[in-house]
Structure formats: C-alpha cells, structure tokens
A and B are shown apart, each in its own frame.
Chain A
C-alpha cells in the first residue's frame, strides 16, 4: 500500500524528500495517515518553490552582493599549512565570475592512488610532477674565453634524485641548440661554438638559453607541496596542467582538481566546469565565515554555462548575448552599443526588464509577466 502512495508522488517530490520521508516514517502506519502526511509534505514543497515570474536573478545578486561587502579585500593570504599564496576573498570571486582564462594563482590538488596516498615514495612523486629546468641540476658554468668553449658542471646529487644521466642531459641540450657541438667530458658537458664571428657574445646567449631548458616533470607546474590531509597525502601545486597530470598512473583521476575553471571545462566538459564554479565560489564564501545559500550560486553557474562554454559575467561574456540593445547599453560602454545598434538598424523588442525600466513601463516580473488576451465579440 505505502509503495503505491510513494509511486504516486514520485514525479511531484524530489528524491531527497522521498528518502527522508521513508527513513522517518514509523514502521506501522495506516494508509490514511500516510496519505495525509504526503498531502501535507507536498503542500509544503509546492509552497516552498519559487513562483513563476519571481526575479531570482535580482534576489541572487543581492544575496551574494551584500555578504561580498564584508569580505576581505586582501588578494593574498597564507592558506593554513600550505606555504603558498592563494587568491581568496572578493578578488577570487570576481575572477571566477568574470570567467578569466587563467586565475591569479593557478593551483591543483592532486590526489594519489592507494599505496602512494599513504606516503609511499611521496618525495619522488612530487619531484616527478614538478617541472624541472636544466638550471636546477647545474652546479656551475665555466666559460673559457680564449677558446670560446663552455663547461657545464652538473650536480650529481640532484641528478641522482631525478634519475637523470649525463647522456640524457646532453641529448636535451643538443636538440635545442644550433651551431654548437655538445660533448661529454667525464661528468661534465663541454660546449663548443661553431663559426668564428662574435663567439663570446653567442656563448653568453647560449648559457642563458640552456639554463631554462625543460628536462623533467609536467610543464606549467612551478611548485609542489605534499600535504597530509586527514588520512592521506595530497600534493598541492602552484601552476596547473590537468591533462598531463591525469595521464600519470599514480594519480587518482576521480578527485584531482584544478582551480582553473577553463581548464576543467576543456578536460572534463561544461557540466564539470559548472560544478567547479559552484564549489570554488562556495569555498571562498564559506572561508570568510559568510552564509549564502548555494541556490544563488547555482543560478549564476547555470547562467555562465548555458551556452555550452563558460562565459563570464562581463560585457564580452553573457551580457553580449542579450538580445536587447538597451539592456546591453545599460551594463557597460553604453555609447558603443547604441552607435553599433544604430549603424545596423537594430530593433529592440522590449521583452526584458532593464529596457522597460528605462522606458518607464511595467517590467515583465511577477504580476507584470502575464499578459491578458480577450476575445472580442464580432
């Protein structure tokens, strides 16, 4: 009997409420009582829903905006144990909602698979992820002016830690330099310029060039920091590269995240980006000890991801997609929009709120939304 009633309300009530009901009902309940409970719950639920025509955007804007005034304006602060600067507070929220391509402080949280998450080889893993430039394994440069040659002495300890051989380093240098010969000389590398003209100048240029050659790790990751989080080790990085990190076999691809929304969109799709926007904004608000309902943030995230790509709330983003000239002009750079619209002879259907406010007409919100149509007698 009770199943039948449950089934009846399956489409009317969300799953969560149905489950809560199921868990809280007394084991023995008469059908009539159950029916009455459902009637009341359903009534409450329908009452709690937003009415058609409610200006949810405005309510959302105020609900995020007011606590926003209380947020710290500091761009940087030290985020607890992690010895890294992280953008938080208002600047971070602005950054997310503007849909910036690259965040001010790109970061990743890399979760690891079973044996490694308990701390096995954690140092090597961190080292493996960090982008290593040649500079870091070089102990010194010796430049011979008379013969215009350069000796590169390598730091053998660091080489060992990175599991690098001299041969591999020579290969990298050889691949990325022109007109110079690269030779191995015991544990050193000997570089000799070919050609005669101005070789000394060239050799200094070469020195700067090979310093920044890429040798190991994942491009774009400048810093790594293994941190113990609850019961497992997590690697926090400065700099992001989700695509390459996901290809490492010791990385838990289900939980590893980046704070770059556009990167998430590229690797995981818009839906994941939408969820990331919600999580990131909510994280900031929560960190500041403020209280904003998630629904407001969900609305913003839905709007930003509506077109299939993440677009920021800027005049180049979602505002540019508005159909009304006056609505676009009311946001930023009004003269530009008005001139462009007049050049192509754009028409404004006056279907939205802003343009009707401008023209002193009832806005299509709440009771202003429905129109009345009467059939005239012939």
Chain B
C-alpha cells in the first residue's frame, strides 16, 4: 500500500484546503464597482493576482475580475482583501 506507483507524480496537484490558503471568491461586477468606489481606486492600482495562480484554478476567473480574499488575521480575526486578476 505504502510504496505506490510513480506514474501519477508528474501531474500538478490542485489543493483547495490548506492552513496557509485563505478563501478566494470571485465577486460580481456590481460589487466590484462598489469596492472601487469605496476605496476610490482604479483597477490598475489594486493588488494583483495571476490568472494562473494555483488558488484560482477551477474558478473560471478572467482578467479584470476581482477576487475577494477572506484572510484569517491575528490582529483583526478576519480580514478582507481584494485582488484583481491579471495575466502579466
């Protein structure tokens, strides 16, 4: 059982649950607009996340989408952060 075959090792694994990994959610256009207005920023000024990022796999995120990240924070309990999907 323990010493298994090596064939499957080459593929890349997609981990969805990990202690280090906060929750990623794609938010709607309407919410996106509200966020930009709330913080008075443009999409270009927001923190970025790569389209190919491991955490976005299986989410169908396109360039320009906004991702809401709910982090566990030692200071605030829960902290919300936003990133914009980019490909470069």
Contact = CB atoms under 8 A, between A and B. Distances in A.
A298 B72 CA distance: 12
A315 interface: no
A159 to B, nearest CB: 12
Interface string A242-280: 011011111001110100000011111111100110010
Contact of B76 (A15, A121, A162, A276): A15
Contacts of A279: 20
Given A124-B2, A246-B15, A308-B86, A271 B75 contact: no
A163 interface: yes
A223 B55 CA distance: 30
B7 to A, nearest CB: 11
Nearest to A216: B3
A296 B83 CA distance: 21
Contacts, number: 110
Interface in B35-66: 47-50, 53-56
A272 B76 contact: no
Nearest to B77: A16
Given A125-B2, A308-B53, A272 B13 contact: no
B54 A306 contact: no
A100 interface: no
B78 A268 contact: no
B17 interface: yes
Contact of A14 (B53, B69, B76): B76
Contacts of B13: 243, 246-247, 267
A294 B76 CA distance: 12
A125 B3 CA distance: 8
A14 B56 CA distance: 27
Nearest to A19: B77
A272 B14 CA distance: 13
A308 B83 contact: yes
A121 B2 contact: yes
Contacts of B47: 302, 305-308
B18 A253 contact: yes
A266 B50 CA distance: 11
Instruction: From A163, A267, A309, name the one whose CB has the most chain B CB atoms within 10 angstroms.
Output: A267
Given A162-B3, A250-B2, A269 B55 contact: yes
B3 A124 contact: yes
B18 to A, nearest CB: 5
Interface of A: 14-17, 19, 121, 124-125, 128, 162-163, 216, 218, 243-244, 246-250, 253-255, 257, 264-272, 275-276, 279, 294-295, 298, 302, 305-309
Given A308-B47, A308-B49, 10 more contacts: A17-B77, A247-B11, A247-B13, A250-B2, A269-B55, A270-B53, A271-B20, A271-B24, A271-B69, A271-B83
Leading 3 A-B pairs by shortest Cβ distance: A16-B77, A269-B55, A308-B48
29 contacts: A15-B76, A15-B77, A16-B76, A124-B3, A128-B3, A247-B8, A249-B4, A250-B2, A253-B18, A254-B19, A257-B19, A264-B20, A267-B13, A267-B15, A268-B15, A269-B21, A269-B55, A270-B83, A271-B49, A272-B54, A272-B55, A275-B20, A295-B75, A298-B75, A305-B47, A306-B47, A307-B48, A308-B48, A308-B49
